Structure 1
Amino acid sequence: MLLRSQSSLIKSSSGPEDRFMAEEVEGYKVIPLEEAVEFCRRNVYSYEPALEMLDEMYGLGLEVKYREASGE
């Protein structure tokens, strides 16, 4: 997964892709880091582990600690 907070923005031009912005990083089109974080925050119950990973990888200061529920 490639995410970068600073690079040139490219607007996709066909189909459902018209509704989002993509950045080009090392030849790949990816969504901006800020957009990925906001998506995860809006869906925190499903994406809390992803938020923790993004925080660790990019030093975002999100203070997110994922904890699995115990089966006991």
Structure 2
Amino acid sequence: MEEVQIRFSVYNGSEKVSFDSITDLGNHEISQQIKQKVNDCELKITETAILHLLGEKIGTYQSNNIQVTFTEKKGEPPING
């Protein structure tokens, strides 16, 4: 099988940024925006999966009254010792 190479292009206003891997962008502003979008999508998928499982366990009627959200908790970092 032939190896396929994928190149991404993102338009940000008047600027076009192309890259092969997200790591190619370094600390570019677009990199942070893409990472945030991916993170948001992952959270939405997880929330939807939880609601789906709840629907299977307790029924759709009851699970429709439940809202699942994730919040970032700011706390002290764990102590390694």
Tell me the TM-score normalized by structure 2.
0.24
Tell me the TM-score normalized by structure 1.
0.25
